[in-house]
Amino acid sequence: MQATVVGAGSWGTALGAVLAGKGWPVAIWDIDPVPLAGIGTSNENTRYLPGIPLPPTLRPEADLAKALDGSQLVVLAVPSHAMRIVAERAKDLLPTGVPICSVTKGIEVDTLMTMSEVLEDVLPLHLHPYLAFLSGPSFAVEVAKGMQTAVTVAASWGRVAKLVQEAFHTPYFRPYTSTDVVGVEIGGCTKNVVAIATGLADGMGFDANARAALITRGLAEITRLGSAKGANPQTLSGLAGIGDLLLTCSSSKSRNYRVGYGLGQGRALEEIQAELGQVAEGVLNAKSVHRMSAELGVEMPISEAVYRLLYEGLSAQDVLRSLTDRHLRGE
């Protein structure tokens, strides 16, 4: 099977390595030549996954048309703010009748569209049935090292989810299928915001009790939002919901957790972001989740507090107070 990965960041490279590790020729493209250069010369993405050897069948390709030519599986792995631009660029080059799998988590800030909505907005109608969405608890660095991982692949057409599941399945990478695209997408983009909150609590010196409370109440508000968007609440109890939430909210490997942690220690957002050198999508997601919950009339106190911390200058102490001083209610 020949595959194409669009986006040579950490996640695109790790997933390209999963496919290439099965012996398949995989072309990987990026707008930036830097990550491609290392993959070509030393089988290593020196920028995003330094020190991890990549299979030689993962081949960098600077020409998007050539990268997509003859592909039997297309993986879209760019940040959410670049998905529309990349889809516009690729729409006339994409092969017909093969799965197009977005692995991006996020909501477009201006339109509040999920990635499936952005792709359906840009791509021609005949490609829509082939869209799939992969999400779940998965740090790129662990996947690139061949460590055990399980994810969810959702597609409206079950056959497409199955094709993607089979393509990615290896002894260490186990995809489950779903037809609940919106549920999988809502889980993937909201957990980053809650991770900023758990990082913040840890950075302020709180411990396991606070983290467990934030994760549990975070899941409750994510499930409320998902239900309002038409998701099956059960999806949010799965890998793409609680699974990803647990991962992101409790590990310093998560950029979003690290943003919160730094803020909890009293550091400036700009300084933390510069140190990370990569996009912490929760910062953008906080804005879109805030607007989406307001539009749908869904109460999301944790996400709202994170939004006010990032965009309205609320202090870490005030964030805490806004959560603990809320009106008492039933669980």
Ligand X SMILES: NC(=O)c1ccc[n+]([C@@H]2O[C@H](COP(=O)([O-])OP(=O)(O)OC[C@H]3O[C@@H](n4cnc5c(N)ncnc54)[C@H](O)[C@@H]3O)[C@@H](O)[C@H]2O)c1
Give the residue from 59, 35, 30 showing the smallest Cα distance to 46: 35
Q: Which stretch binds ligand X (CB under 6 A): 6-14, 158-166, 223-231, 297-305?
A: 6-14
Give me the least distance between CB of 147 and ligand X, in Å please.
12
Binding mask 11-40 for ligand X (x = CB under 6 A): xx-----------------xxx--x-----
Strand partners, 132: 101
Give the residue from 116, 113, 119 showing the smallest Cα distance to 295: 113
- Regarding 198 and contact with ligand X (CB under 6 A), the answer is no
Give me the least distance between CB of 193 and ligand X, in Å please.
12
Strand partners, 152: 135, 176
- Residue 191 is among the residues annotated as catalytic for this protein: yes
Closer CB to ligand X, 115 or 316, in the complex: 115
Interface residue with ligand X, options 140, 196, 242, 323 (CB under 6 A): 140
| DSSP line for 225-265 | HHHHTT--GGGGGSIIIIIHHHHHHT-TT-HHHHHHHHHHT
Give me the least distance between CB of 248 and ligand X, in Å please.
9
Closer CB to ligand X, 105 or 211, in the complex: 105
Neighbour-count burial for 40-79, b at 16+ CB within 10 Å, e otherwise = eeebbbebbbeebebbebbbbbeebeebbeebebbbbbbb
Give me the least distance between CB of 278 and ligand X, in Å please.
4
Block residue for tokens 């991890």:
52
The tokens for 116 are 């499936």
Taking each helix axis as running N to C, give the angle between helix 301-311 and helix 208-228, from 0 to 180 degrees, rounded to the nearest 10. Answer: 100
Q: Which of 66, 162, 191, 229 is catalytic?
A: 191
Interface residue with ligand X, options 3, 26, 78, 113 (CB under 6 A): 78
Subset of 269-288 contacting ligand X (CB under 6 A): 278-279, 281
Q: Which stretch binds ligand X (CB under 6 A): 7-15, 177-185, 209-217, 288-296?
A: 7-15
Catalytic site residues?
A: 191
Residues near ligand X (CB under 6 A) are: 7-12, 30-32, 35, 48, 77-80, 82, 85-86, 103-106, 138-140, 278-279, 281
